[in-house]
């Protein structure tokens, strides 16, 4: 993977100063850099780190004096965080999957595998599957009947992709993800307690025994181009239509999408978030870690939700949300501050009641308050 | 999978009108239906969708005029949601697993495989395992020594079932689930900080270095009949007894059950919920998505908990819960409403204190409130 | 696995009374014990259970009269919970993985496998991998290029360990865990809405279309000695340095660690907890189930966080935390109590305002309060 500093600068569209012929084998934080590492020092605070490490080349902040920092060459980039994309792409060796189809893969004879594809051992590919050109399918992946995957896919070990799924180009899927599992959809012959609760917000006329009959998932999953799915993420197929993920959307590890969920384009869904059945999420939505979206609701375009937020009702487009239940982020932060002051508020209120009662005004009696914990579970 | 409309009506116990000989290959939402799809239009709001799609047959709401809707046949069902179970079951092609045992499966010679079972490639079956009749074991499943599984099991790729597990009939297990992993159980030679906290609700006499010794899990997992386990769900084995799941209970994707947990019959545990070690959950309990149940507590029969609820103490039977910490759902909704009004309450209280102070009554002084944020982390 | 009672007593350093030659094949709760089970009855409350079961030997509470309890032998231990570690270790048969390398494993010829290692079928081991002595690698594990694993590892089915990972001795990894997946790190050419929100706590100047460019993860994962990783847990590799887990730390099932995370020594991270990218966690930290740690923050040594806690800002060492957002546990419990009393506080405040208004003091007007729900999502 070794490249010259000049090649990297060219790939990034960055300005090069000093020795462009320096060989670069990796990237590193400044203090830990070896002589073939490109030190990433986009901020003056890293200057001292450079003197601890052994880097000969670095990415530097605008205006830095690379000679004085003991370097032999340097490159300069306008938006450092964005430059990271190019630097790491240039230096990523990628997974090692031997070209061709491994003899211990089990490929259905009706499957069509694109030109230049690499398929590892212990892979199964079902009837009528079509996989695009240059796909890299790592060991221990299963792709079920009639599924279609575009060009340049990278699918890592342990992934399962169910039947009749369609996926666009440049798909990346991390280990042990599951795409196209059956939805979690069960029904009782009579209306169930959970159905009743939803209508009454907590009241039940009577509790009946009930057992669950399975609604099968005969829909599928449709995934656009440039989608990335995290490790052990799970995406259920639709009941009779498709669960759908728009182009450019990225799902982190352990994300769960229920049946019939529709997620728009260019969304980021962070780790351990879950979207319940039949919810619809717009374009460019960003959900932080451990967010939940209730079933059958709508989350508008450009919504951003902070970590741990539970979105339990429709969210208009552009809304910034936080908390359980989700409300506007600034309101939530204000509410949390009020809650931290509740002890004092409670004391002040008690004091005020006492003052007013003692002043002889009517209607205030100071009773015992211990009964009010009774509603805890 | 093509069937006639009359066959489907008979399977559902539904009333048929029109041409029962129409061939049905799938089901669809009305607007997206092709000529061999059964359009699902159980409500008058779908009438316009029918005119957009190309369905010749539909499931209709009671009283609909199928001829006027441009259909050639229709069926009528009393409870549409329940009818979905029958319709989707009739039209689900199911997974394609070739009959017999694949030559690339590694089956211990002492294992007993039931009549009519299908076992895919890259499966391992351990010493003394017994698997019932007509089991369908997909590729890349591992079943460890002495485990016993009933008739008609469907086990999908990547599943691991540990040793000495017992599972009833009609078991369905989705991809990459893990059943019978070791419990998360560690102990320190002296009482640990975490043990102390539990007793004192947050106070520690002194902080000591501590390292963890493993308590091995030599118990097992016992699963009843008609149980379904979601993709990447994890179920730990018991320490010395069995983790247990009652008949008819369904676990969604990414659910976690700790060691020694007992879950009753006919429960629904939705996605990403977790039940900590040694908790006991009654029959017909419904937990929404991302619910947590603390260790060693009891959740009574017929409890229903809304999404995101954290049940941290015993819950009596029939209780409907919501929130963190869990309290009765209607109380929680009222509390959330009060919290949204805290800003106004705080202003009113300040105004009232000022009024009363100015009126010359005793004991009220308006101090600076900024100190009260100190207890944030 | 049958041993004598005397052998078990010696392994535990426990006091033996009665017949040390009794053969013990397992351990059990007293009431369910068979004649070859060691009944675990460390507390007098189990006395009645002993009479229901058929145990001939038991672990008893100090001072118990084993003869009167119908036993033929007994052992006595000082700290019963700690003794469980030794008892279960002595009686755990462990997984059955045949010695040597299975012919259906695909091992790169440059890999070095330690003496006495056992490797199951359908395993892949990449270029330059080094695995220590006596490793037990179960079926369907993949270990990628240049990864190094110490002695006495136990790696269970379905695990994926990415390239260039380093792991110490006595590593235990449960089924379907993923170690070394790519970080979830994306960037937009211009500052994204999520970046802006962080700076403004919720305000956005304008909403722009944006799509995501991938920052590749060219760092690795470094894991110390005596680490245990739960089933379907996921650990992302670092961007340019290593995600790191200190010696003695244990991760439960479905835990997620983001890229660049550093977790110290002897920590316990319970089920379904997640630590977001670049967060640093000290030594001996205990996180309960479903805890979240925000990205780029610091959690000090000896912090303990209760189940469901979301740690959103730096936590000083020794802090005991609870809630969303995390605050000190005792303060949180007090706040939750105040919240349960908000209904009454609200009534009292309204009543007081009315009283004061009627007494003719200035400035109080009782307006309609219905407008205050407007900020809900």
A214 touches chain B (CB under 8 A): yes
The average pLDDT across B209-220 equals 91
pLDDT given for residue C1 in this prediction: 57
Report the chain A residue with the minimal C-alpha distance to residue C271: A272
pLDDT given for residue B365 in this prediction: 54
The answer to whether position C83 is within a domain reads yes
- Residues C36 and B32: their CA atoms lie apart, in Å, by 65
Of the two residues A210 and A142, the one the predictor is more confident about is: A142
Chain B to chain C, count of Cβ pairs less than 8 Å apart?
Answer: 258
Helix/strand/coil (H/E/C) assignment for every residue in chain C: CCEEHHHHHHHHCCEEEECCCCEECEEECHHHCCCCEEEEECCHHHHHHHHHCCCCEEEECCCCCCCCCCCCEEEECCCHHHHHHHHHHHHCCCCCCCCEECCCCEECCCCEECCCCEECCCCEECCCCEECCCCEECCCCEECCCCEECCCCEECCCCEECCCCEECCCCEECCCCEEEECCCCEECCCCCHHHHHHHHCCCCCCCCCCCCEECCCCCEEEECCCCEECCCCEEECCCCCEEEECCCCEECCCCEECCCCEECCCCEECCCCEECCCCEECCCCEECCCCEECCCCEECCCCEECCCCEECCCECCCCEEECCCCEEHHHHHHHHHHHHCHHHHHHHHHHHHHHHHHCCCCCCCCCCCHHHHCCEC
Mean of per-residue pLDDT scores for chain B: 92
| Yes or no, beta carbons of A327 and C376 under 8 Å apart | yes
**Residues whose CB falls within 8 Å of the CB of residue C68, separated by 6 or more in sequence, listed in order:** none
Residue whose C-alpha is closest to residue B248's, from B225, B276, B278, B277: B225
| Yes or no, beta carbons of B88 and A240 under 8 Å apart | yes
**Residues whose CB falls within 8 Å of the CB of residue B347, separated by 6 or more in sequence, listed in order:** none
pLDDT given for residue B202 in this prediction: 76
- Residues B236 and C8: their CA atoms lie apart, in Å, by 25
CA distance C365 to chain A (A): 17
| Yes or no, beta carbons of B340 and C270 under 8 Å apart | no
Q: What percent of chain A has pLDDT over 90?
A: 80
List residues of C with catalytic annotation: 259
| Yes or no, beta carbons of B27 and A104 under 8 Å apart | no
Which domain covers residue A43, as residue numbers? Answer: 3-91
Contact B37, B55 (CB under 8 A): yes
| Yes or no, beta carbons of B212 and C372 under 8 Å apart | no
The one-character DSSP state at A152 is T
Q: Are strands B3-4 and B23-24 parallel, antiparallel or unpaired?
A: antiparallel
| Yes or no, beta carbons of C240 and A85 under 8 Å apart | no
Task: Determine the residue among B30, B230, B252 to mutate to test chain A binding: the one whose Cβ has the most chain A Cβ atoms within 10 Å.
Answer: B252
Residue count (chain B): 377
* Tokens read off for B33: 């239906």
Q: Per-residue confidence at B68, pLDDT binned at 50, 70, 90?
A: very high
The answer to whether position B11 is within a domain reads yes
Q: Nearest Cβ partner of C218 from A26, A232, A361?
A: A26
CATH of the domain at C17: 3.40.1390.10
* Tokens read off for A182: 């059956």
Q: Render pLDDT for B260-286 as a digit per residue (tens, 0 to 9).
A: 999 999 999 999 999 999 999 999 999
> Bridge-partner residues for A4, per DSSP?
A23
Q: How far is CA B65 from CA B10, B31, B41, B45, in A?
A: 21, 18, 12, 14
Q: What interface predicted TM-score (ipTM) does this complex get? A: 0.92
Contact C229, C174 (CB under 8 A): yes
Residue in the block written with tokens 């235990």: C172
C337 contact residues in A (CB cutoff 8 A): 373
Strand order, beta sheet including B37-41: B15-18, B73-76, B57-60, B37-41, B26-28
The answer to whether position B372 is within a domain reads no
DSSP string, A293-315: E-TT-EE-TT-EE-TT-EE-S-B
Q: Per-residue confidence at A321, pLDDT binned at 50, 70, 90?
A: very high
CA distance B166 to chain C (A): 17
Half-sphere exposure in the Cβ direction for B216 (13 Å, CA):
13
| Yes or no, beta carbons of B175 and A194 under 8 Å apart | no
Q: Per-residue confidence at B128, pLDDT binned at 50, 70, 90?
A: very high
B166 has pLDDT over 90: yes
Q: Identify the three-state secondary structure at position A358.
A: helix
User: Partners for C (CB, 8 Å, 3+ pairs)?
Assistant: A, B
Please provide residue B374's backbone torsions phi and psi, each rounded to the nearest 5 degrees.
-60, -20
pLDDT given for residue C8 in this prediction: 92
Chain A to chain B, count of Cβ pairs less than 8 Å apart?
Answer: 258
- Residues A75 and A62: their CA atoms lie apart, in Å, by 9
* Tokens read off for C119: 């490797």
Residue in the block written with tokens 């479905």: C254
B288 has pLDDT over 70: yes
Q: How far is CA C377 from CA A270, A298, A334, in A?
A: 20, 11, 15
Please provide residue A326's backbone torsions phi and psi, each rounded to the nearest 5 degrees.
-65, 130
Q: Per-residue confidence at A177, pLDDT binned at 50, 70, 90?
A: very high
pLDDT given for residue B361 in this prediction: 54
Rg (CA), chain A: 28
Of the two residues B306 and C189, the one the predictor is more confident about is: B306
The answer to whether position B103 is within a domain reads no
Task: Determine the residue among C267, C284, C337, C368 to mutate to test chain B binding: the one whose Cβ has the most chain B Cβ atoms within 10 Å.
Answer: C284
The answer to whether position B59 is within a domain reads yes
Q: Per-residue confidence at B290, pLDDT binned at 50, 70, 90?
A: very high
A338 has pLDDT over 90: yes
CB atoms within 10 A of CB C376: 16
Chain A neighbours among C 338-357 (CB < 8 Å)?
338-345, 348-349, 351-352, 354-356
Q: Per-residue confidence at A371, pLDDT binned at 50, 70, 90?
A: very low
Q: Per-residue confidence at B192, pLDDT binned at 50, 70, 90?
A: confident
A367 has pLDDT over 80: no
| Yes or no, beta carbons of A356 and C352 under 8 Å apart | yes
CB atoms within 10 A of CB A68: 8
Q: Per-residue confidence at B362, pLDDT binned at 50, 70, 90?
A: low
* Tokens read off for B221: 């997992």
Q: Nearest Cβ partner of C184 from A252, A320, A323?
A: A252
Q: Are strands B320-322 and B327-328 parallel, antiparallel or unpaired?
A: antiparallel
Q: What percent of chain C has pLDDT over 70?
A: 95
* Tokens read off for A216: 């099968």
pLDDT given for residue C207 in this prediction: 77
B74 has pLDDT over 80: yes
Contact B129, B148 (CB under 8 A): yes
The answer to whether position A102 is within a domain reads no
Chain A to chain C, count of Cβ pairs less than 8 Å apart?
Answer: 258
Q: Are strands A298-299 and A327-328 parallel, antiparallel or unpaired?
A: unpaired
Contact B311, B297 (CB under 8 A): yes
Mean of per-residue pLDDT scores for chain C: 92
Q: Could you give the angle at the alpha carbon of C279 between the alpha carbons of C277 and C281, nearest 5°?
A: 140
Rg (CA), chain C: 28
Q: Render pLDDT for C272-286 as a digit per residue (tens, 0 to 9).
A: 999 999 999 999 999
Q: Render pLDDT for C13-64 as a digit per residue (tens, 0 to 9).
A: 899 999 999 999 999 999 999 999 999 999 899 989 999 999 999 999 989 9
| Yes or no, beta carbons of B340 and A327 under 8 Å apart | yes
Q: Render pLDDT for C288-301 as a digit per residue (tens, 0 to 9).
A: 999 999 999 999 99
Please classify residue A109 by burial: count the beta carbons closer than 10 Å to its beta carbon, then call 0-12 exposed, 13-18 middle and 19+ buried. exposed
pLDDT given for residue A373 in this prediction: 41
Contact C159, B178 (CB under 8 A): no
A184 touches chain B (CB under 8 A): yes
- Residues A23 and A41: their CA atoms lie apart, in Å, by 18
Of the two residues A133 and A94, the one the predictor is more confident about is: A133
Contact B256, B277 (CB under 8 A): no
Report the chain A residue with the minimal C-alpha distance to residue B304: A194
Residue in the block written with tokens 């006919």: B266
A257 contact residues in B (CB cutoff 8 A): none
- Residues A231 and A176: their CA atoms lie apart, in Å, by 6
B232 touches chain C (CB under 8 A): yes
The answer to whether position A21 is within a domain reads yes
**Residues whose CB falls within 8 Å of the CB of residue B327, separated by 6 or more in sequence, listed in order:** A375, A376, A377, B321, B335, C340
pLDDT given for residue B360 in this prediction: 66
Q: Could you give the angle at the alpha carbon of B241 between the alpha carbons of B238 and B243, nearest 5°?
A: 45
Residue count (chain C): 377
- Residues A163 and A128: their CA atoms lie apart, in Å, by 10
Q: Nearest Cβ partner of C359 from A156, A320, A361?
A: A361
Task: Give me the sign of the Cα torsion angle A175, A180, A185, A186.
Answer: negative
pLDDT given for residue C363 in this prediction: 53
Contact C141, C159 (CB under 8 A): yes
pLDDT given for residue A79 in this prediction: 84
Q: What is the largest CA-CA distance in chain C?
A: 94
The answer to whether position C290 is within a domain reads no
pTM of the model: 0.94
Contact B61, B78 (CB under 8 A): no
Report the chain A residue with the minimal C-alpha distance to residue B337: A325
pLDDT given for residue C364 in this prediction: 57
Q: Which residues of B271-299 are buried (b: 16+ CB within 10 A; e: fewer)?
A: bbbbbbbbbbbbbbbbbbbbbbbbbebbb
Q: How far is CA A24 from CA A9, A228, C240, in A?
A: 11, 28, 14
The average pLDDT across C146-173 equals 98
pLDDT given for residue C251 in this prediction: 98
B285 contact residues in A (CB cutoff 8 A): none
| Yes or no, beta carbons of B349 and C349 under 8 Å apart | yes
A324 touches chain C (CB under 8 A): yes
Q: Identify the three-state secondary structure at position B204.
A: coil
Out of A88-92, A119-123, B263-267, C295-299, least confident range? A88-92
The average pLDDT across A200-214 equals 80
Q: How far is CA C147 from CA B284, C112, C114, C130, in A?
A: 47, 11, 14, 6
Q: Per-residue confidence at B200, pLDDT binned at 50, 70, 90?
A: confident
pLDDT given for residue B371 in this prediction: 40
The average pLDDT across A171-182 equals 98
Looking at the structure of chain B, the number of domains it has is 1
pLDDT given for residue A11 in this prediction: 87
Half-sphere exposure in the Cβ direction for C24 (13 Å, CA):
31
């Amino acid at each position: 993977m070794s490249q010259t500093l000049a090649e990297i600068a060219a790939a990034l569209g960055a300005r090069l100063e000093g020795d462009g012929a320096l060989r670069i084998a990796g990237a590193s934080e400044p203090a830990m850099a070896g002589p073939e590492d490109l030190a990433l020092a986009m901020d003056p605070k890293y200057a001292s780190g450079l003197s601890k490490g052994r880097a000969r080349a670095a990415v530097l902040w605008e205006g830095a004096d690379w000679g004085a920092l003991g370097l032999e060459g340097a490159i300069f980039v306008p938006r450092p965080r964005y430059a990271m994309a190019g630097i790491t792409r240039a230096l990523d060796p990628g997974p090692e999957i031997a070209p061709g189809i491994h003899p211990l893969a089990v490929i259905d004879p009706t499957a069509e595998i694109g030109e230049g594809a690499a398929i590892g051992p212990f892979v199964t590919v079902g009837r009528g599957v079509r996989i695009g050109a240059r796909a890299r399918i790592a060991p221990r992946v299963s792709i079920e009947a009639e599924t279609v995957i575009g060009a340049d896919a990278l699918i890592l070990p342990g992934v399962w992709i169910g039947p009749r799924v369609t996926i666009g180009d440049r798909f990346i899927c991390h280990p042990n993800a599951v795409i196209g599992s059956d939805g979690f959809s069960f029904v009782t012959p009579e209306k169930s307690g959970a159905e009743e609760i939803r209508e009454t917000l907590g009241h039940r006329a009577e509790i009946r025994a009930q057992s669950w009959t399975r609604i099968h998932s005969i829909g599928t999953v449709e995934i656009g181009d440039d989608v990335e799915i995290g490790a052990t993420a799970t995406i259920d197929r639709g009941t009779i239509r498709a669960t759908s993920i728009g182009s450019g959307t990225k799902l982190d590890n352990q994300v769960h999408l229920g049946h019939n969920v529709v997620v728009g384009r260019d969304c980021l869904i962070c780790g351990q978030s879950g979207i319940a059945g039949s919810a619809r999420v717009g374009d460019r939505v960003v959900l932080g870690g451990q967010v939940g979206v209730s079933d059958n609701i709508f989350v508008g375009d450009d919504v951003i939700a902070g970590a741990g937020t539970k979105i339990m009702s429709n969210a208009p487009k552009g809304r910034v949300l936080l908390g359980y239940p989700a409300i506007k982020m600034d309101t939530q932060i204000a509410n949390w501050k009020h809650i931290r002051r509740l002890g004092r508020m409670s004391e002040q209120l008690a004091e005020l009641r006492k003052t007013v009662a003692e002043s002889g005004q009517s209607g205030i009696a100071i009773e015992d308050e211990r009964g009010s914990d009774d509603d805890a579970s």
